[in-house]
C-alpha cells in the first residue's frame, strides 16, 4: 500500500515537471518553420541524378545552409541544377538558387524564392541574442530536434528526443547525444526551445551481425544517414552564418601548400616530448606553394600556429581538421607563423608563411564533353600534378574526366582519370588546345581514326580510336 | 613393333624420369616466418640428377625439397623412394627452376633413376598429340592426353609467379591435355616420349586450357642456371606495344618495327631520350617486328639477352625522322625485393624495388614494404599495416635491408623504443615500436 502511494507521488511529480517546462508542441510548431527539404539534380554528361538534402533557414532572405556532404566535392557548381525548396510537410515547392560552399564550415548555401520567405523562420529567432553566449547543454540534459520523412511522405517533420552523453572538441565543440536527435543539417533545441546546435553527419555505430546457420558474430559498422546524434554547439554555428559565399566557387581561399598532414599518435608524442599538445607531420611541401617559398620542408612537424601550440585533441586526427579550419579562417595575403620541429633537431623554428591563393580546384576546372568520341576532357589543374606526382612544369595535357561506356574512346581502352598527353602524336599543351583538336576530330565525319597517348599509373600507352 | 596398346619405348622410359616434388618453403606474409608445404612435379634431365620443374613449385624460399623417384621399369606407375634435393637456381620470368637430386643419398641407398630426352618444341604443330605427366592433386604419376592447341600463346603476368613477373620473354605452348594443380613442373611430351614443354599453368574453371613453357626456352634457361644459378638479363626500360592497325598512322610498312608504349622514368631508355610513341625499328641493326602481341616476347628477349652494361644501338623512328640512339643496358631487377621477418616486432617486410617505387609513387627505392604484421605484436600495436613503406628507422634512411636488420639486432640485444617513419599513400606518419 505504502509502495503504491510512493509511486503515485512520483507520477504526479514528473507530470508537474513537464508542465513546468515550456510547451514542447507549441515550441515545435514554430521551430519546424526553420527547416526545409532541398531537392536538386546533379547533371553529368549522360545522366541526371536526383539529390536530396535537409537544410536550416538562417535569415529573412530565405537563405538556407546544407551540410557539406550534400554535394560530392568533385561535382562542379554548374552541374547542380533545378534546386527546389520544400517546407516541412509540404508537397509543393519553390525554386532555389545555389550560392556556393563556404570553405570553413563546409556548408552549402541556397536561397529560396521570395514567395516562400514569409513562411520561413530563421533559426536565429530561436537563438540567444547575438553577443551573448549560447547555452551549453548539461550532461544527461534532455534535448530535442527535428527529423524529416521522405518525399513520398511530403517531408513530414517528426520529433527526436535524446540526452547529452558527451561534449567533445572535434575540433568544434560538439555534443554527442545518446541516440539520434536530428536529421543531419537540422537544429537541436533544449526544452525551453533555445537553439543548441546543428546536427552533422552521424557517426558509424558498431553492431554484431549474426546469421542463423553460423553462430559467430561479425562486427559491422552501420551509419544512419537520415538521423544523427552529433551536433556542433550553437556557438560553433551562429558566428559563421554570415559566411554566405561571395561567388559560387567560395573564393577567396587561403593556400599553405602542406600536403598530407598526419597527426602524431600519443606514443610518438611522448617519445618526442610533445605529449601535452598536438603535432602534425607535413608529408610533402608542395612545389611552388607558399609553404615552400617560406622554407618549410617535407616531414617538418608542425607544433604551433601564430605562436599558439596546436591543441591536444582526441582522437589525434581531429588536429588535422583544427589546422584546416585555422587556414580556412584566413585570407590569401595573410601571414601565418608556423612553428615546426625538423628532423632530429629538437629545436623549434618559426617560419612565417605568406598565404597564397588556392590554385584552381578540380571542381573549378574547365570541362568539355565530346559526345561522338565519348569523353569529357578536363583542364589539368594543380591538384592533378600533385596526385600524379609530376612537376607543374611537366604538367601539360588534359584529364579524361568522363569516359562514356562502349564509346569509341572506351573501346580503345581509355579510362576515366587517364591523363591524355598527346593527340595524333602531337603534345596536347593546354586545355584549349585539346578542346580545339578534339572538336576538329569530332566535326570531321570523314575521319576514320585518331590516336591518343594516355598515361595511367605512371605508364603510357598509345590508343587507336576507331571512328568508323 | 610394340605390343597392342603399348606406348613407345621412349614414352615408357620417360615415365621413369617423372618425379613428384614435395617442397617446404618459408613465407613471410604474416609478420613472422611460417612454413608452407606444396606438391608439384618435375622431370629428371640427366644422369647427374638435374631435375627441371616450375619456379612456382620450388623457389629460393624452399627450405626442404624431397623428390619421389619412380620405381624403375614400373609399368603400374606406383611411386618409389623419396630422396632429398637442392635448388640449383630459379627463373620466375620463365617459371622454371632447376634442382639437383642428392646423389650421395642415391648412391648410399642404392637407388636408380632414368632421365628424359628433350625434343624440339619448334617443330610442334597445332593438333599434334601430346601427353602431360605429373602429380595432379597429389595423384602421383598421372598421364593425361591432348593435343597442341596453340604453339605460340602470348601470356604475360606482372605477378604471375608468387607475386613475381612472368611471360615477358617467352611465349607458351597451349594444350588441352588436362592440367591440374600439382601438374606444375611436369613434362609435356610427344608420343615418342620426348619432352617438348614444362606444364605450368591452366585456367581454373575452364575446360582444358593448359599452358607449358616450350623446351626451346627451357634449354637456354637450364644452361644458364647450371652455369650461374641464375639468369642475368638486361634492362633498358621500354614497355612495348603492338603496331597492328597503326601502320598507316606511323607511315610504316606492314611488319616493321615495334611501338614503344611507355618509357620507364629514370631508365636507360628515358635517359637517352626515347619517348612513348616512338617506333623501334632495329636493335644493333637487327630488324624487329612487333605487329602482334605474340611477337613481343622475342624482341624483349633480344634486349634481355644482351650483356649487362653493353651499349645497344637502337634505331628509332619518330615522326618523319629516323635516328640511332645508344643505350647502355642495366641489370634487370624483379619487382619483388628480398623478404625478411623481424619476429619480435611481429613485422615482415620486403625491400622496396624499382617497380614498387614507380607504382607507389615513391620518390626512390629507399625503404621496406610491410608485407605482414602479427596481431598484438609491437608493429601492430604501433599502428603499422600491410602496404606501409617504412623509410626511416631511428632517423636513419633505410637504403638497404641491412639498415633495418642492424636496428633489429640492436633492439634484440637491448630492447628500447624505436622510432619509425613510414608512408601510406604518400602520407608520412611516425610510429614507435615499444618493447
Q: How confident is the model over A394-445, as pLDDT tens digits?
A: 889 999 999 999 999 999 999 999 999 999 999 999 999 999 999 999 999 9
Residue B114 region, left (φ>0) first, then alpha (ψ -120 to 50), else beta? beta
Q: Give the residue on B whose Cα is nearest the Cα of A423.
A: B277
Residue B426 and residue A457: Cβ atoms within 8 Å? no
How many angstroms separate the most distant Cα atoms in chain B? Answer: 78
Residues 6+ apart with CB under 8 A from B27: B33, B34, B35, B36, B61
Mean pLDDT across A29-50: 96
Determine the Cα–Cα distance for residues B246 and B240; give it in Å rounded to an integer: 14
Mean pLDDT across B429-435: 94
User: Which has more pLDDT, A207 or B182?
Assistant: B182
Residue A12 pLDDT more than 80?
no
Residue B262 and residue A344: Cβ atoms within 8 Å? no
Which residue from B366, B368, B383, B372 is spatially nearest to B347, judged by alpha carbons? Answer: B372
Mean pLDDT across A330-340: 97
- Compute CA distances B238 → A65, A198, A458, B251, B268, whole Å: 54, 57, 13, 21, 9
Which contacts (CB < 8 Å, 24+ apart) does range A165-169 have?
A: A165/A139, A166/A139, A167/A136, A167/A137, A167/A139, A167/A233, A168/A314, A169/A311, A169/A313, A169/A318
Mean pLDDT across A120-147: 95
- Chain B CB contacts of A273 below 8 Å: none
User: Which has more pLDDT, A5 or B431?
Assistant: B431
Active site residue B115: no
Residue A461 pLDDT more than 90?
yes
**Is the CB of residue A319 less than 8 Å away from at least one CB of chain B?**
no
What pLDDT does A345 receive? 67
Q: Provide the 3-class DSSP secondary structure of residue B188.
A: strand
What pLDDT does B70 receive? 86
What pLDDT does A207 receive? 85
Q: Give the residue on B whose Cα is nearest the Cα of A317.
A: B429
Residue A425 and residue B277: Cβ atoms within 8 Å? yes
Active site residue B305: no
What pLDDT does A78 receive? 92
Active site residue B168: no
Q: What tens digit of pLDDT does each residue of B385-402 get?
A: 999 999 999 999 999 999
Bridge-based pairing state of the strands B396-397 and B418-424 = unpaired
**Is the CB of residue A264 less than 8 Å away from at least one CB of chain B?**
yes
Residue B276 and residue A458: Cβ atoms within 8 Å? no
Residue A382 pLDDT more than 90?
yes
User: Which has more pLDDT, B134 or A275?
Assistant: B134
Q: How far is B9 from chain A (nearest CA, A)?
A: 52
Residue A235 pLDDT more than 90?
yes
Mean pLDDT across A170-181: 95
Q: Give the residue on B whose Cα is nearest the Cα of A421.
A: B276
What pLDDT does A452 receive? 96
- Chain A CB contacts of B382 below 8 Å: 267
What pLDDT does A344 receive? 65
Best residue in A459, A466, A467 to probe B by mutation, most B CBs within 10 Å? A459
Lowest-confidence region among B72-86, B157-171, B200-214, B224-238:
B72-86
What pLDDT does A442 receive? 96
What pLDDT does A351 receive? 97
Residue A14 pLDDT more than 50?
no
What pLDDT does A370 receive? 97
- Chain B CB contacts of A271 below 8 Å: 417, 419, 432
Q: How far is B358 from chain A (nearest CA, A)?
A: 7
Residue A454 pLDDT more than 60?
yes
User: Which has more pLDDT, A10 or A45?
Assistant: A45
Mean pLDDT across A297-316: 94
**Is the CB of residue B241 less than 8 Å away from at least one CB of chain A?**
yes
Q: What is the pTM of this model?
A: 0.87
Lowest-confidence region among A93-102, A232-241, B71-80, B408-417:
B71-80
What pLDDT does B74 receive? 61
Mean predicted lDDT score pLDDT of chain B: 94
What pLDDT does A208 receive? 83
Mean pLDDT across A309-332: 94
What pLDDT does B279 receive? 96
User: Are the beta carbons of B339 and B348 closer than 8 angstroms?
Assistant: yes
Residue A7 pLDDT more than 70?
no
Mean pLDDT across B312-337: 95
Residues 6+ apart with CB under 8 A from A66: A38, A53, A54, A55, A107, A108, A109, A110, A185
**Is the CB of residue B419 less than 8 Å away from at least one CB of chain A?**
yes
By Cβ distance, the residue of A262, A425, A459 closest to B239 is A459
Q: Give the residue on B whose Cα is nearest the Cα of A452.
A: B277
Determine the Cα–Cα distance for residues A334 and A386; give it in Å rounded to an integer: 24
pLDDT more than 70, % of chain B = 97
Residue A19 pLDDT more than 60?
no
Residue A462 and residue B277: Cβ atoms within 8 Å? yes
User: Are the beta carbons of B408 and B345 closer than 8 angstroms?
Assistant: yes
Residue B10 pLDDT more than 50?
yes
Q: How confident is the model at residue A2 (pLDDT cuts 50, 70, 90)?
A: very low
Residue B246 pLDDT more than 50?
yes
Q: What tens digit of pLDDT does each residue of B44-101 get?
A: 999 999 999 999 999 999 999 999 998 776 666 666 899 999 999 999 999 999 999 9
Residues 6+ apart with CB under 8 A from B15: B70, B74, B77, B133, B141, B143, B193
Lowest-confidence region among A18-27, A178-187, B80-89:
A18-27
Determine the Cα–Cα distance for residues B86 and B251; give it in Å rounded to an integer: 54
Determine the Cα–Cα distance for residues B60 and B63; give it in Å rounded to an integer: 8
Amino acid at each position: 500500500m505504502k509502495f503504491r502511494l510512493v509511486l503515485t507521488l512520483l507520477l504526479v511529480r514528473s507530470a508537474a515537471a513537464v508542465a513546468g517546462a515550456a510547451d514542447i508542441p507549441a515550441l515545435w510548431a514554430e521551430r519546424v518553420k526553420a527547416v526545409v527539404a532541398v531537392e536538386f539534380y546533379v547533371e553529368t554528361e549522360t545522366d541526371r541524378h536526383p539529390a536530396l538534402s535537409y537544410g536550416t533557414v538562417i535569415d529573412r532572405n530565405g537563405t538556407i545552409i546544407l551540410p557539406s556532404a550534400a554535394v560530392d566535392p568533385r561535382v562542379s557548381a554548374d552541374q547542380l541544377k533545378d534546386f527546389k525548396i520544400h517546407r516541412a510537410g509540404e508537397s509543393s515547392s519553390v525554386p532555389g538558387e545555389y550560392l556556393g560552399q563556404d570553405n570553413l564550415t563546409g556548408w552549402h548555401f541556397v536561397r529560396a524564392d521570395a514567395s516562400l520567405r514569409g513562411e520561413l523562420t530563421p533559426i536565429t529567432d530561436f537563438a540567444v541574442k547575438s553577443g551573448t553566449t549560447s547555452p551549453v547543454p548539461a550532461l544527461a540534459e534532455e534535448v530535442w530536434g527535428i527529423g524529416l520523412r521522405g518525399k513520398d511522405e511530403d517531408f513530414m517533420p517528426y520529433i527526436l528526443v535524446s540526452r547529452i552523453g558527451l561534449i567533445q572538441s572535434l575540433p568544434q565543440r560538439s555534443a554527442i547525444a545518446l541516440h539520434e536527435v536530428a536529421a543531419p543539417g537540422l537544429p537541436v533545441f533544449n526544452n525551453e526551445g533555445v537553439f543548441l546546435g546543428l546536427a552533422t553527419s552521424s557517426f558509424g555505430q558498431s553492431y554484431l551481425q549474426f546469421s542463423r546457420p553460423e553462430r559467430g558474430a561479425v562486427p559491422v559498422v552501420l551509419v544512419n544517414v537520415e538521423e544523427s546524434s552529433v551536433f556542433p554547439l550553437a556557438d560553433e554555428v551562429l558566428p559563421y552564418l554570415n559566411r554566405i559565399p561571395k561567388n559560387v566557387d567560395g573564393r577567396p581561399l587561403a593556400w599553405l601548400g602542406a600536403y598530407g598532414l598526419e597527426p602524431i599518435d600519443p606514443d610518438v608524442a611522448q617519445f618526442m616530448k610533445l605529449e601535452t599538445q598536438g603535432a602534425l607531420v607535413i608529408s610533402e611541401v608542395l612545389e611552388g606553394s607558399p609553404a615552400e617559398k617560406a622554407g618549410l620542408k617535407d616531414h617538418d612537424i608542425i607544433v604551433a600556429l601564430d605562436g599558439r601550440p596546436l591543441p591536444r585533441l582526441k582522437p589525434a586526427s581531429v588536429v588535422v581538421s583544427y589546422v584546416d579550419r585555422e587556414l580556412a579562417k584566413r585570407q590569401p595575403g595573410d601571414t601565418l607563423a608556423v612553428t615546426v620541429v625538423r628532423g632530429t633537431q629538437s629545436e623549434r623554428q618559426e617560419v612565417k608563411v605568406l598565404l597564397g591563393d588556392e590554385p584552381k580546384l578540380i571542381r573549378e576546372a574547365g570541362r568539355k564533353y565530346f559526345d561522338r568520341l565519348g569523353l569529357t576532357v578536363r583542364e589539368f589543374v594543380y591538384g592533378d600534378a600533385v596526385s600524379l606526382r609530376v612537376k607543374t612544369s611537366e604538367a601539360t595535357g588534359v584529364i579524361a574526366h568522363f569516359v562514356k561506356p562502349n564509346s569509341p574512346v572506351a573501346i580503345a581502352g581509355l579510362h576515366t582519370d587517364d591523363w591524355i598527353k598527346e593527340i595524333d602524336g602531337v603534345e596536347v599543351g593546354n586545355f584549349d588546345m585539346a578542346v580545339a583538336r578534339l572538336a576538329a576530330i569530332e566535326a570531321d565525319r570523314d575521319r576514320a581514326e585518331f590516336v591518343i597517348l594516355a598515361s595511367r599509373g605512371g605508364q603510357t600507352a598509345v590508343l587507336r580510336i576507331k571512328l568508323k | 613393333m610394340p605390343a597392342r596398346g603399348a606406348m613407345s619405348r621412349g614414352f615408357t622410359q620417360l615415365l621413369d624420369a617423372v618425379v613428384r616434388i614435395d617442397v617446404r618453403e618459408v613465407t613471410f606474409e604474416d609478420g613472422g616466418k611460417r612454413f608452407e608445404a606444396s606438391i608439384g612435379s618435375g622431370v629428371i634431365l640427366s644422369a647427374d640428377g638435374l631435375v627441371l620443374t616450375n619456379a612456382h613449385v620450388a623457389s629460393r624460399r624452399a627450405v626442404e625439397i624431397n623428390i619421389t623417384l619412380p620405381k624403375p621399369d614400373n609399368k603400374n606407375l606406383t611411386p618409389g623412394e623419396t630422396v632429398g634435393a637442392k635448388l640449383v637456381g630459379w627463373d620466375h620470368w620463365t617459371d622454371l627452376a632447376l634442382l639437383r637430386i642428392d646423389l650421395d643419398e642415391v648412391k648410399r641407398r642404392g637407388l636408380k633413376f632414368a632421365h628424359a630426352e628433350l625434343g624440339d618444341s619448334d617443330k610442334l604443330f597445332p593438333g599434334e598429340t601430346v601427353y602431360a605427366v605429373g602429380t595432379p592433386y597429389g595423384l602421383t604419376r598421372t598421364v593425361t592426353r591432348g593435343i597442341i592447341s596453340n604453339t605460340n600463346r602470348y601470356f604475360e603476368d606482372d605477378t604471375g609467379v608468387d607475386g613475381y613477373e612472368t611471360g615477358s620473354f617467352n611465349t607458351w605452348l597451349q594444350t588441352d591435355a588436362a592440367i591440374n594443380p600439382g601438374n606444375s613442373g611436369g613434362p609435356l611430351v610427344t608420343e615418342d616420349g620426348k619432352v617438348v614443354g614444362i606444364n605450368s599453368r591452366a585456367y581454373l574453371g575452364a575446360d582444358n586450357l593448359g599452358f607449358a613453357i616450350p623446351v626451346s626456352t627451357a634449354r637456354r634457361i637450364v644452361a644458364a642456371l647450371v652455369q650461374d644459378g641464375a639468369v642475368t638479363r638486361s634492362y633498358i626500360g621500354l614497355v612495348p606495344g603492338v603496331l597492328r592497325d597503326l601502320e598507316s598512322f606511323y607511315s610504316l610498312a606492314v611488319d616493321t618495327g615495334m611501338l614503344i608504349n611507355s618509357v620507364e622514368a629514370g631508365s636507360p631508355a628515358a635517359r637517352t631520350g626515347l619517348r612513348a610513341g616512338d617506333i623501334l625499328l632495329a636493335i644493333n641493326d637487327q630488324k624487329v617486328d612487333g605487329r602482334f602481341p605474340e611477337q613481343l616476347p622475342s624482341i624483349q628477349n633480344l634486349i634481355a639477352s644482351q650483356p649487362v652494361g653493353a651499349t645497344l644501338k637502337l634505331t628509332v623512328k619518330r615522326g618523319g625522322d629516323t635516328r640511332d640512339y645508344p643505350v647502355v643496358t642495366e641489370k634487370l631487377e624483379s619487382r619483388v625485393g628480398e623478404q625478411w621477418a623481424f619476429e619480435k616486432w611481429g613485422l615482415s617486410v620486403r625491400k622496396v624495388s624499382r617497380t614498387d617505387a614507380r607504382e607507389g609513387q615513391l620518390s626512390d627505392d629507399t625503404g621496406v614494404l610491410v608485407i605482414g604484421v602479427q596481431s598484438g605484436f609491437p608493429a601492430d600495436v604501433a599502428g603499422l599495416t600491410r602496404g606501409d613503406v617504412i623509410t626511416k628507422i631511428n632517423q636513419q634512411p633505410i637504403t638497404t635491408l641491412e639498415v633495418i636488420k642492424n636496428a633489429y639486432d640492436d633492439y634484440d640485444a637491448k630492447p628500447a623504443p624505436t622510432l619509425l617513419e613510414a608512408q601510406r599513400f604518400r602520407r608520412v606518419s611516425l610510429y614507435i615500436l615499444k618493447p
